[in-house]
Amino acid sequence: MARRHQLSDCLRVLLAGALVLLSGCQTAQVPQEPAIPTISVREEPGWRRAALPGDVDRIDGIEGAWEEALSAAEAAGHRRTMSSEGPLLDPGAALPMPAPTPGAYTCRLLRFAEPRRRGPVLTVYRPFFCNVGVDGDALTLIKQTGSERPAGHLWVDERPERLIFIGTLSRGEHEDPLPYGEDPERDMVAVLERVDAFRFRLVVPWPRTGAIVEVYELTPSPVQYQD
């Protein structure tokens, strides 16, 4: 009986020693630092600060202008003409790298008028000359011939597939360009996109001319225009 008690005591000692060894083998818990939330502030593109509020709304509503213009032209029977223009009149045709190379361009204007106005809803005008230039670190776009001549700068946008045009419209042969914001009736904003390898478009939503949309097509010209 005494021998059995001795064995029980030995087992208790062995178990206690094993528990001490196991507790010494446990990995120490490293205290974790509390997670600190990070806040990133994305600066708005400069054109939004440079443009007047109404013109910012024009750019932000360009999808609606496209839809209204194309629907009106199709209802007026211009579907074949629009189809022949390919990606030029496809609102979703914008490609990466929209910046045009400086130089002379052959340009065309396609104007989508409101149906209630006199004349056709879609008018395609004869080609004219445009020029893409450099002013400091910014690109400029100037229509050099014709009775209506846009002139302005191209701004980087938050959407990498497009640039924003901010400028003014000169009317008549002897009217010089004005600084943007000096005459609201001559202010002009638009979106510049590349729709093919060497084909660009300048889309003007709800221009001051009273149209729904004006689309300027730009393709590099083999002839350099001289003033």
Is 96 domain-assigned? yes
pLDDT for position 5: 43
Q: Looking up tokens 């204007």, which residue turns up?
A: 109
CA dihedral 72, 76, 77, 82 (to 10 degrees): -30
Are 122 and 80 in contact, with CB atoms under 8 Å apart?
no
Task: Round to whole Å and give the CA distance between 163 and 154.
Answer: 6
Is 37 domain-assigned? no
Task: Round to whole Å and give the CA distance between 40 and 60.
Answer: 23
Cα 132–201–127 angle (5° rounding)?
75
176 contacts: CB under 8 Å, gap ≥ 6: 170
Task: Round to whole Å and give the CA distance between 93 and 12.
Answer: 82
Is 188 domain-assigned? yes
Is 8 domain-assigned? no
Is 117 domain-assigned? yes
Q: Where are the beta strands (DSSP E) in 18-156?
A: 103-112, 122-124, 128-135, 138-143, 148-156
From the list 98, 99, 204, the residue with the least C-alpha distance to 161 is 98
Is 26 domain-assigned? no
Give the predicted TM-score (pTM) of the model: 0.79
Per-residue pLDDT of the chain (227 residues; tens, 9 = 90+): 444 444 344 435 434 444 444 444 444 455 565 555 555 445 678 999 999 999 999 999 999 999 999 999 999 999 999 999 999 999 999 999 999 999 999 999 999 999 987 889 999 999 999 999 999 999 999 998 878 889 999 999 999 999 999 999 988 766 788 899 999 999 999 999 999 999 999 999 999 989 999 999 999 998 655 44
pLDDT for position 175: 74
- For the stretch 204-226, what's the b/e string if a residue is b when 16 or more beta carbons lie within 10 angstroms of its beta carbon? bbbbeeebbbbbbbbeebeeeee
Report the DSSP beta bridge partners of residue 150.
169
Question: Where would I find the H helices in the chain?
Answer: 2-25, 46-50, 53-60, 62-75, 79-84
Are 58 and 123 in contact, with CB atoms under 8 Å apart?
no
Q: What are phi and psi of 170, to 5 degrees?
A: -95, 135
pLDDT for position 35: 57
Is 2 domain-assigned? no
Structural domain boundaries enclosing 158: 47-220
Number of domains in the chain: 1
pLDDT for position 144: 83
Is 57 domain-assigned? yes
Are 218 and 203 in contact, with CB atoms under 8 Å apart?
no
pLDDT for position 134: 96
